[in-house]
Amino acid sequence: MTKYQLIAATGCPTGIAHTYMAQEALEQAAKAKGVTIKVETHGQIGVENELTQAEIEKADAVIIAADKDVHAERFAGKRVIEVSVSKGIKEASQLIDDALAGKGKVLGGDKSVSVAVLEKKENERKGIGHSIYKNLMNGVSHMLPFVVSGGVLIAISFLWGIYSADPENTQFNQFAATLKEIGGLAMGMMVPILSAYIAEGIAKRPGLVVGFVGGLVATNGGTGFLGGIVSGFLAGYVVLGLVKVFNVLPKSLDGLKAIFLYPVLGVAITGLIMYGIAGPMSAINEGMMDFLAGFENSSPLVLGVIVGCMCAFDMGGPVNKAAYVTGTALLAQGNTSFMAGVSAACIAPPLITGFAVLFFRKYFDTNEQNAGLVNFILGSTHITEGAIPFAAKDPLRVLPTMMLGSSIAAVLTYMFKVQVPAPHGGFLVLPVVTHGLLWVLAILAGSLVGGFLLGLIQKRRVEKIKATI
């Protein structure tokens, strides 16, 4: 890997001209002095010439010539000269001299070898696997605020009664109905946002709109969370393909490509493909619902294991939704037992991550520690999606753990003959749950077992990384 004496980041608010003028000025000034430099740009098309963690670590100094956020926290512990983008254009030569003379300030930050740093080094060795994970997590991290805000508002609306949003029912309350509608709108944005930011991670800004529209098609087609992932990756690579195809056009047409060719052709191609695959994915979903409804009167053990595995398998995706929609359909027919197991199995995954972080705190990075504790709230309000970041990180080991914990919770719920007459709300609907205390015990049992196992898995994972680096 090339070692650069200096590294730099440039960016202006519009990202059209000054960002690249500063890049060119710094590169020319460095070349004139015989200094190696790599300049990362934060322009209209997104981040280009991106600095790697290894390049940052090996560089002698950093120059930031920007009037916008360029993620300076990456340079913690490095000597940094920070100026406006215009100064980067006009005084590039002086900035190079100052950087070589050791001027600037050392940015603060934790340089200790944390779990996050260890995992980042491990991921950098994994290549394509890390790239897929990074882009998926870019989508998940932007999606979660929509899930949290929407899910909590819907759960709160049930405080006024299970049927408080139904104008035909005596429980109807206008405020509760409004809260539920707002929450539903936020939840409805989940898949498009997931898709948009997966595509943005792959193809930078041009991928954003293509991924968003692809996510809308996935939502309308009933493909759920998994459809959003498919459309996000599809949109990202469609835009990358278009970038290659139009690379032969003159650089003066870059603006036309960014605002016309990429979005128009990208949306058309991605949208048409998603329309083509949405039908089969939706049909598979309906088949799973019919399959599950057939086990309605099975033994608690068989039914609990099936419901638990389905609810934790994709946490908001078609398999999870098949179980949930079957539960709500049976609820409408007066069967309140089936939904009790579905709710328990949906509540358990985020609680599992919370207990894992609580028991094995030092083996999780800071973000995971915070997310795990927040998941106690999300799980309590029936927001399964809070566990997705943990599952996306290590699906082959985390998902079976979640499925085991959810199955235990669902099996015990059916054995205790719990009845839940509400389709959502988590522990907020406890006042209307039959055998509510036993229901909580069933969920805690599954969550504790799953949490302990998940913590052990993470502990072994971190120790293995330490041993190989």
The β-bridge relationship of strands 105-106 and 46-48 is unpaired
The β-bridge relationship of strands 61-66 and 37-43 is unpaired
Place of tokens 């990208």: 266
Helix H or strand E segment including 375 = helix 366-380
Dump the DSSP string for 445-461.
HHHHHHHHHHHHHHHHH
12 is catalytic: yes
Q: Which residues of 385-403 are buried (b: 16+ CB within 10 A; e: fewer)?
A: bbbbbbbbbeeeebbbbbb
User: Contact 238/290 with Cβ under 8 angstroms?
Assistant: no
Which residues sit opposite 62 in a β-bridge?
A: 7, 80
Can you read off the two tokens belonging to residue 450?
């799953």
Can you read off the two tokens belonging to residue 189?
């944005």
From the number of C-beta atoms within 10 Å of its C-beta (0-12, 13-18, 19+), residue 213 rates as buried
User: Contact 135/239 with Cβ under 8 angstroms?
Assistant: no
Phi, psi of 189 (to 5 degrees): -85, -10
Please give the Cα distance from 267 to 279 (Å, whole number).
19
Please give the Cα distance from 339 to 348 (Å, whole number).
14
What length does the chain have?
A: 469
Of the candidates 376, 393, 389, the residue with the CA atom closest to the CA atom of residue 427: 376
Helix H or strand E segment including 185 = helix 174-188
Helix 336-359 to helix 366-380 angle, to the nearest 10 degrees? Answer: 160
DSSP code of 3?
Answer: P
Q: Could you tell me the end-to-end alpha-carbon distance of the chain, in angstroms, rounded to an integer?
A: 18
Residues tagged active-site: 12
